[in-house]
Amino acid sequence: MAPVNGARTPIGRPQTPTRQISLSTPPTTPSRATSSPSSRSTSSRSPRNRANTAYVKEVERKTFLEHLRKWSLNHDASCHFHGSISILPPKIGETYKIGQSARCVLTNDSKDAKKIVTIRLFEPVRKYGHYRLAVRCGSGWMSARDFFNKEYSTRRHQPRYSVGLLNLEMLASYRAVFEEEAKATITVRPLFHSFMKLPAELQQLILGYTIGKQETYTPPQRTYEVPGCPPPKNAWGRFPTKLSSVLTVSKKINSLICPWVYKTTFFQFTTCGLTNFLWLAGPTNRSNIKKLWLGFGNCALLHALRWLAPDEVFELFDPPLAFFSNGLQLLWRCQIQDLVKTLHLSVLVIDLHSVPWRDIPIVVRVLRQCFGSVETVRFNLGWTQLTMDDALLGNLKHQFTWAQLCRDAYARCRNDRHYAGCFGAKRILDGPEGLERDIAANLEFFTRTG
């Protein structure tokens, strides 16, 4: 047998016959492999799946709506705006996420007045913080409070026109565009109207807890003030809200809380801070101050004679003020005299700590007469509360004249270095004779007992 294609066959080796395949027989098709569950789930999660994309968009929309609803329940927006915010269906490539722009429909109390706005919602920074909402306005962004106040003012001052046929057609087209907005709508309304309907006592209790109100208030002084020192936390472990922040909520709350704070708080002062506090409080708030606590320590007599004593006693002793001119001292004295005369106190507490016992009668007389009026005078000695009728304060029951009080103070303190600032150089040189001569020149005042 001849070799195929001219190929040589080795001698002695039998040739292997080749198997001929019939072309008419179709090739065997391998069996179809069964797809595993993991492969099917992977294909269903593909972002190219239109049904899956729509589901993801809807979940994002519902999540964003929930954040927006939380904002509406605890926001600091306008105290006047009533309306709603509706989330529009997202466009292609648009997502609803915190911190990103979202298209919404804003509706005020007039249901046919709608406009499309772009908002951005931000999550709270701290654990007990609040959501923040920004609204696109022109080429910039406005806070929700400013934007809704602007919308309220614009709507309030906008003239009302009669609705014609063209306007009805426009409204019909707008309603067709906003058909789906009702599915995702939250209400925007003032959060303090219900609060203002509560009894005044409950409002004061809530506001007092909010600002961490204490029974007493001591203004910080430079000698012991620690810059940046945080205020004490309340029972829930949270820092109280600043009073200035509460006063900016609404004018009604401002008019409610200011008089209440000034009327129910004991304001404590030592030898400094009183003049500045009364000056900054203003005439309206000064009239609401009813409780005052004063503690001058061992400088009580000097402080009382220099700043709070009547002009006749001040001119009699002429206490100098070191390092300052006489004119400046008189200016400060006139200022504090005018301020304290506007106070009509219900309770005046005088702290007797470190005050020499023999100085108490004249100091109490000066403090009782320097204010506009005082209903009750109390005394604080350590942890003990004393009154005018207490046995320890027996000298206060006697009605001493101004002349007797001035003679006693001059006789005791004239040669004492601790009281060197209570008397001017001329008063010390004139001696008791000069004191009696000046007292006799104004007996109308010095013979008074009150």
- Give 166-222 pLDDT, tens digit per residue: 455 555 555 554 455 455 788 887 766 567 778 888 888 888 888 888 888 887 654
Torsion angle, CA of 193/116/130/249, rounded to 10 degrees?
-40
Q: What is the CA radius of gyration of the chain?
A: 43
Give the model's pLDDT for residue 283: 93
Confidence of residue 1 (pLDDT cuts 50, 70, 90): very low
Q: 282 phi and psi, to 5 degrees?
A: 85, 165
- Are 106 and 85 a contacting pair, CB within 8 Å? yes
Give the model's pLDDT for residue 243: 74
Q: d(Cα 65, Cα 88) in Å, to the nearest integer?
A: 11
Average pLDDT over residues 419-442: 91
Q: What's the token pair of residue 381?
A: 């000695």
Instruction: Name which of 265, 247, 264 is nearest 256 in CA terms.
Output: 247
Instruction: Name which of 277, 309, 314, 311 is nearest 293 in CA terms.
Output: 277
Pairing state between β 114-122 and 132-137: antiparallel
Is the model more confident about 167 or about 349?
349
Give the model's pLDDT for residue 234: 54
- Are 188 and 72 a contacting pair, CB within 8 Å? yes
Give the model's pLDDT for residue 148: 86
- Are 320 and 424 a contacting pair, CB within 8 Å? yes
Q: Which of 74-88, 140-154, 193-207 has the highest mean pLDDT?
A: 140-154
Averaged pLDDT of the chain: 79
Q: d(Cα 144, Cα 123) in Å, to the nearest integer?
A: 14
Identify the bridge partners of residue 217 per DSSP, sorted by sequence position: 267
Instruction: Name which of 105, 161, 180, 96 is nearest 135 in CA terms.
Output: 105
Amino acid at 427: R
Average pLDDT over residues 425-443: 92
- Are 319 and 424 a contacting pair, CB within 8 Å? yes
Average pLDDT over residues 332-358: 94
Predicted confidence (pLDDT) at residue 61 exceeds the cutoff of 70:
yes
Give the model's pLDDT for residue 94: 76
- Are 306 and 256 a contacting pair, CB within 8 Å? no
- Are 97 and 103 a contacting pair, CB within 8 Å? no
Give the model's pLDDT for residue 240: 73
Decide: residue 200, CB within 10 A, 0-12 exposed, 13-18 middle, 19+ buried: exposed
Q: Which of 35-44, 74-83, 283-292 has the lowest mean pLDDT?
A: 35-44
Q: Which of 38-42, 248-252, 261-265, 441-445 has the lowest mean pLDDT?
A: 38-42
Give the model's pLDDT for residue 163: 45
